[in-house]
Amino acid sequence: MSNLQDRRSDDRSNAPENAALLVLEDVSRTYRSGPAEVRALDCVSLTIREGEFVSIMGQSGSGKSTLMNVLGCLDRPTAGRYRVAGRDAGGLEADELAALRRETFGFVFQRYNLLSNVSAAENVEVPAIYAGTPPPARRSRANTLLATLGLGDRTHHRPNELSGGQQQRVSIARALMNDPAVVLADEPTGALDSRSSEEVMALLKELHAAGRTVIVITHDPEVAAFAPRRIALRDGRVISDEGSGIAVRPHRPDAAEDGGTVGVAQRLSEAVKTALRSLRANVFRTALTLLGVVIGVAAVVTMLAIGEGSQRDVLSRIEEMGSDLLFVRPGAPGTRTRGDAVATLTVGDAEALAGLDNVLASVPEREGRATLRANGTDYATSITGTNADYPTARSRDVSEGTFFQASDLASYSTVAVLGRTVADNLFPNGGAIGNYVLISGVPFTIIGLLEERGASSFGQDQDDVVLVPITTGFVRLFGRSYLSSLTVRVADTATIAQTESEIVSSLIARHGTEDFQVRNTASLLETVQGTQRTFTILLGSVAAVSLIVGGIGVMNIMLVSVSERTREIGVRMATGARRSDIMLQFSTEALVVGCLGGVIGVLAGVGTALGAARLGTTIALTPEPAILAFCCAVVTGLVFGYLPARQAARMDPVRALATE
């Protein structure tokens, strides 16, 4: 067992031998059970020196377990004073007590208290994790300790693959991991057969011989007899204290290193590893936990993709109705005009407006009605004279043939473009292009057919129209050279108000007075913007509900996990875990659930959206909804994981260890 004699301070020879290490002065510990008060310890005064081998014996209810908890800084005395190496433990905060346990004590439990989902070596490493020991160093030390204790070939085995004696040896190796000054063994042979019990006690004797202070809590007189100093308890009081168990050279280990700044990243890394192990340990429960987050995230991604696609589709339809158009009508503001009652707009006005910034097209229009005749059929319809920019301004091209060009306007060509309704009535068997149609007795050549539009929002048939060059219309059809209206299409709707002001200024300068009216599509644009806001609020609300439901699921499962792993939490606290370590561990588990659920949910949402697209639904996949949904999943995991993590961090280590 010479290998168990770990690193010693260089100045050991200068330190006083057998100094008082653990000192209890009139320590009492009482518990409340309803109106009754139970006194587990009653004015116990006791001094244990460095290098002693002490057994504390007593029957059930004698107070020996309570005394062990107080000695190991797992519990606080109700009255009296307890000092560890001269340091008053009664005034220490929870994390300071954790540091004291981590640096001074190594616990050997009756039921081993090994973590079931990790290997023997990883169980041994636990105290070193909270001491901030780098992974390579702690792995090397764990393997060395296990090899020294005869378990070199069992380092990768889990507890359920080890015998009781082997598990207790792993527990002893864990107690020695941080090279503690004191080894506290609680009923170390209580769950072992006689042979294994002798081996464990022999190990404890060797630890004492190496200079460590060893305290054994037992009810068995034979086990107590192994210790040179024997203390007996009854009813919370010391009834006897016999013998002396001072080692020749007491063991004074180097101070345990704290994680410090470097330890933050290491602690986070260990928390992530622990979280993944915990999630793997119960795959079904993990799947249920993830399901709520996955559904919430997938719903957000899918709904926003479909909503964005539908929104774009609606906006494109609204734009076709003229959300980027300005209409100039004749007549002073505030007056109502009908037909050709007012003649204030000219083709020159249209040409002047076409030169303004942000104007994509400026189209003069003169409207009238006429009777068409072709193939012996008469048909009355609307006639519109316009220029070659009409398809650009109205976002309406020809489906067959061509539209008239600037040269047709300059040469006063008698050409016409028919709407589908007119063409079907005059040429029911097709073949309209290239034929002639008489408009008010004037023959026009049909050069194209307009795209079908169907009925407008007011019920008007938008295909019941004939377009002719406006110059030809003035000469052959309308008789007077003035316009019914001007239609202006802007390039950027964001500055449509400024463009409208420029149009007004330009026309006033040309006319010398405001004898016209400009109407925009502000109400239509407001409707579009309102629709966008409604979509956003609706989808955001549904997404929030979905994620909240998923978050509640995470919190419920995490609370169950905390309840099931209470003993594990107690073991981690006993081996030196701070409250922040426990908080970090369970918060990280919730964070991992949020991240995994977010990733899977995004993939599921994209897949669902693509499936909807194959069924004919309009979608628009953009990275922003996926990023937003993932971030929300992460935040949801953190927010709803806080309460379970806080509950775990505030547990009493004594009660946690006593949990079945």
Q: Mean pLDDT throughout 479-486? A: 88
Looking at the structure of the chain, the number of domains it has is 3
pLDDT per residue over 434-452, tens digit each? 999 999 889 999 999 999 9
- Largest Cα–Cα separation, the chain: 136
Q: Mean pLDDT throughout 236-246? A: 84
Band of residue 252 on the pLDDT scale cut at 50, 70, 90: low
Q: Give how far Cα 76 sits from Cα of 27, 80, 351, Å.
A: 10, 10, 94
Q: Give how far Cα 499 sits from Cα of 315, 352, 353, 496, 560, Å.
A: 21, 13, 10, 5, 64
Nearest to 124 by CA among 144, 110, 104: 144
* Secondary structure class of 121 (helix, strand, coil): helix
Band of residue 242 on the pLDDT scale cut at 50, 70, 90: confident
Euclidean distance between CA atoms 630 and 624, whole angstroms: 10
Q: Give how far Cα 5 sits from Cα of 52, 176, 250, Å.
A: 15, 10, 11
Percent of the chain residues past pLDDT 90, beyond the cut = 36
552 and 516 within one domain: no
pLDDT per residue over 539-548, tens digit each? 767 767 777 7
Band of residue 644 on the pLDDT scale cut at 50, 70, 90: confident
245 and 351 within one domain: no
**Residue pair 177/5 in contact by the 8 Å Cβ criterion:** no
Euclidean distance between CA atoms 271 and 264, whole angstroms: 10
243 and 194 within one domain: yes
**Residue pair 349/359 in contact by the 8 Å Cβ criterion:** no
Structure tokens at 144: 């060395």
493 and 616 within one domain: no
Question: 549 versus 522: which is more confidently predicted?
Answer: 549
**pLDDT at position 109 over 70:** yes
**pLDDT at position 455 over 80:** no
Structure tokens at 312: 């774009």
280 and 247 within one domain: no
pLDDT per residue over 186-237, tens digit each? 888 877 788 888 888 888 888 888 888 999 999 888 888 889 999 999 999 9
Which of 282-291, 316-325, 362-371, 587-596 is the most confident on average? 362-371
551 and 500 within one domain: no
Look at the block and give the residue holding tokens 């004037």: 442
pLDDT at 379: 94
Band of residue 131 on the pLDDT scale cut at 50, 70, 90: confident
548 and 514 within one domain: no
Q: Give how far Cα 235 sits from Cα of 26, 30, 219, Å.
A: 15, 12, 14
> What is the sign of the dihedral through the CA atoms of 363, 367, 373 and 378?
positive
Nearest to 295 by CA among 587, 560, 629: 629
Q: What is the DSSP string of 280-316?
A: HHTHHHHHHHHHHHHHHHHHHHHHHHHHHHHHHHHHH
Helix axes 164-176, 194-209, angle to 10 degrees: 20
375 and 306 within one domain: no
pLDDT at 426: 93
* Secondary structure class of 574 (helix, strand, coil): helix
* Secondary structure class of 72 (helix, strand, coil): coil
**pTM of the predicted structure, to 2 decimals:** 0.65
Lowest-confidence region among 79-93, 313-327, 436-450, 461-475: 313-327
**Residue pair 8/252 in contact by the 8 Å Cβ criterion:** yes
Lowest-confidence region among 218-222, 238-242, 396-400, 528-532: 528-532
pLDDT at 388: 94
Q: Give how far Cα 209 sits from Cα of 166, 171, 607, Å.
A: 22, 19, 67
272 and 247 within one domain: no
pLDDT per residue over 552-571, tens digit each? 877 877 888 788 888 888 88
329 and 298 within one domain: no
The CATH number of the domain holding residue 250 is 3.40.50.300
Angle at 215 between CA 212 and CA 221, to 5 degrees: 130
Band of residue 505 on the pLDDT scale cut at 50, 70, 90: very high
Q: Mean pLDDT throughout 310-314? A: 72
**pLDDT at position 504 over 80:** yes
513 and 365 within one domain: yes
**Residue pair 419/463 in contact by the 8 Å Cβ criterion:** yes
Helix H or strand E segment including 163: none
Per the document, the length of the chain is: 660
Euclidean distance between CA atoms 374 and 423, whole angstroms: 10
Residue 273 makes CB contacts below 8 A (sequence gap 6+) with: none
- Point out the domain boundary residue: 258, 282, 299: 258
pLDDT at 313: 73
Band of residue 421 on the pLDDT scale cut at 50, 70, 90: very high
pLDDT per residue over 375-399, tens digit each? 889 999 999 999 999 998 888 899 9
148 and 240 within one domain: yes
pLDDT per residue over 578-607, tens digit each? 888 888 888 888 888 888 888 998 999 899
pLDDT at 124: 93
Band of residue 316 on the pLDDT scale cut at 50, 70, 90: low
Number of helices (H), then strands (E), belonging to the chain: the values are 20, 20
Structure tokens at 84: 């560890």
pLDDT per residue over 172-187, tens digit each? 999 999 989 899 998 8
Domain limits for position 200: 2-258
Helix H or strand E segment including 75: none
pLDDT at 522: 62
- Point out the domain boundary residue: 470, 486, 520: 520
